[in-house]
Structure 1
């Protein structure tokens, strides 16, 4: 692929392939194992792309099914999560079409609630540190030089259980005689999930008109491990939550699609949608333990700036549909009692995704061996 074509594509795609999950108590921070933006994967052999993606959200709107519970805010009983995450990544081009990537995530999370502190006082729990490291490889299915206007990449990755999945803090009014106790923080703010995971992902782009592209992609995280051994203490809230006493290690998914337009060689914009969540049941492994299934549909506008090998991008997905479906516990309880039951989850209105990256190109000129022989004579 000619250098000027690469630069145009990188500028176009810098905004449109953020893979970080939407802000939701149900959906923990995660991204693909083979690069967080498509431009990180448009590499030649020996090229290196490194950088950082930052994400922030505040979840506080409670939903049961697709119905919001506005009274949770008015009566001050809502759960408020503030989540900050930084993904530090490095992607290396093995060939024109094959690339590999490593992502080292870190998080700082807070969670303010009443129900976790005896329902009498609002207190805040806290977690921070290294999250689950991801490594992976990706491959462009079509020759980049012959298919400059469209291509598809597939990837396979491994999620390592490097993050703490038993981070703890002080919880008030929960011990004997309402004394404080040290307990694991909620699953939604645990830095890690405690399991080895496998990710499968894809991404594509297709030129529609001059400087105008369609794009799409997504990933699915398979977590074969059923539970991680971390206690939730949910069984102390109600007898029907006995099977939620230990945290699950759930699957997670994200898909997105949209359009991107290059305003100039340095600025591009995008507008798309994304759908992501945690399923009620995993594809592999059991489904015991505690999880909050949920999904979010978002509209995802973005803008990017690129000059030479430096790029910045900003995406602001905002939720238009949020759902907390029935969990396995909800369904079992409904069958046993005959009464409808649907747990709740808190979701954010929007997410801030900001990325910065720098590319180091391998510009070494390779000399034909026959020419070298000529110099020796």
Structure 2
């Protein structure tokens, strides 16, 4: 790969970097909250020379309202106006620093604003809305390129490990109507899906890659997993007040989360790059480490993920809109426990969005250019 090839590749790498903010953001009340990794699905944004710095701000929004049990939608919920509606807004402020040409570190400071409108949480006769906002769970990680970027490989892989800190409020409360003493209002914790934090220390693991397939076509992909060892956070759900069989869901779980992405990117011009891929995000039924008790809504979303990025020098602006093509809410452990205890089928539901809107801006500061291996440079551009 020549220096000219690197210039052609640069907007593609920025595009891939800019499309990462929504990693781990399940489309609805399956995921506890928005969640993004530090390095993202495309670690090319971390091709920074020693001392290089990239700052970015990422905004995400979705509206979840379509209810699923398993992979089957329940359209009557919308038709009868009994659906739960979540509006979720998230802003991530991200800093990535080049420790060396191959080592990098990232810090994500997330903030959220969420609303949740429902009937069943307010006595079933009157729709009301609960609200949460604030600083969410801060994440950081350290990553490493397996190949030296200075040698201009046609592809590369980065691995990263990090931590999630319980900085977000996992005990956010609001007023719930028609459910208190004598049918009056009562202050309770908001639903798990709009809690700002989860109350646990977590460990994050990521693997990400890109590969040049042709001078104008690039393959990208990667995977991310959040390990949450804590089983429950002690916050009451009040679900046992809805039915005695929900006693095992009286306290919130602290679940793992994951995301996988794969796609193709194509530069239309030196400034405009497009991408098209698929992503699979979710919350598992069981955690890899620690217990899996308490209330959670496991689920997953398969989405088609188109994106577009504009770059101008050190500045980049991107838009991506993952559109769900398959949504699943499998039986949780508490569903299975209740089914075994009662002898009756039990499968909880969850609300999902049709799409997620992701917008990101980024700026690279001095020192972001990797010093190239002289043998790999085009001699006419030396």
Equivalent position to 1:23, from 27, 44, 47:
27
Q: Which residue of 1 aligns with 2:13?
A: 13
1:177 CA displacement: 1.1
1:7 CA displacement: 4.6
Give the 3 Å change call, closer, same or farther, for CA 111–3 of structure 1 in structure 2.
farther
Give the 3 Å change call, closer, same or farther, for CA 328–291 of structure 1 in structure 2.
same
Equivalent position to 2:173, from 168, 173, 186:
168
**Is contact 1:9-1:39 (8 Å) kept?**
no
Give the 3 Å change call, closer, same or farther, for CA 104–36 of structure 1 in structure 2.
farther
**Is contact 1:103-1:133 (8 Å) kept?**
yes
Moved more, 70-79 or 147-156: 147-156
Matches within 5 A, 1:357-372: 357-362=362-367
1:297 CA displacement: 0.2
Give the 3 Å change call, closer, same or farther, for CA 217–301 of structure 1 in structure 2.
same
Asked if 1:74 is matched to 2:79, the reply is: yes
**Is contact 1:35-1:103 (8 Å) kept?**
no
1:339 CA displacement: 1.8
Equivalent position to 1:45, from 42, 50, 59:
50
Asked if 1:132 is matched to 2:137, the reply is: yes
1:306 CA displacement: 0.5
- Deviations 1:40-93 (Å, cap 9, x if unpaired)? 211111110001011000000000000000000011100000000000010000
CA distance in 2, matches of 1:283, 1:199: 12
Q: Which residue of 2 aligns with 1:237?
A: 242
- Deviations 1:278-334 (Å, cap 9, x if unpaired)? 000000111111100000000000000101000011110000000000001111122
Equivalent position to 2:278, from 258, 273, 280:
273
Q: Which residue of 2 aligns with 1:369?
A: none
CA distance in 1, matches of 2:74, 2:14: 37
Q: Which residue of 1 aligns with 2:159?
A: 154
**SS of residue paired to 2:340:** helix
**Is contact 2:42-2:209 (8 Å) kept?**
no
Q: Which residue of 2 aligns with 1:317?
A: 322
1:143 CA displacement: 1.4
Q: Which residue of 2 aligns with 1:288?
A: 293
1:8 CA displacement: 3.4
**SS of residue paired to 2:166:** coil
Number of equivalent positions? 366
**SS of residue paired to 2:356:** strand
Q: Which residue of 2 aligns with 1:89?
A: 94
Gaps of at least 5 residues in structure 1 are: 367-377
**SS of residue paired to 1:256:** strand
TM-score, normalised to structure 2, is 0.92
CA distance in 1, matches of 2:246, 2:78: 24
Asked if 1:194 is matched to 2:202, the reply is: no
- Deviations 1:86-145 (Å, cap 9, x if unpaired)? 000100001111100100000000000000000010000000000000010111101112
Give the 3 Å change call, closer, same or farther, for CA 241–256 of structure 1 in structure 2.
same
TM-score, normalised to structure 1, is 0.94
Give the 3 Å change call, closer, same or farther, for CA 236–96 of structure 1 in structure 2.
same
- Aligned alpha-carbon RMSD (Å): 1.8
**SS of residue paired to 2:193:** helix
CA distance in 2, matches of 1:327, 1:343: 8
CA distance in 2, matches of 1:230, 1:300: 35
Q: Which residue of 1 aligns with 2:210?
A: 205
1:363 CA displacement: 7.7
1:225 CA displacement: 0.4
Moved more, 71-80 or 337-346: 337-346
**SS of residue paired to 1:312:** strand
**SS of residue paired to 2:355:** strand
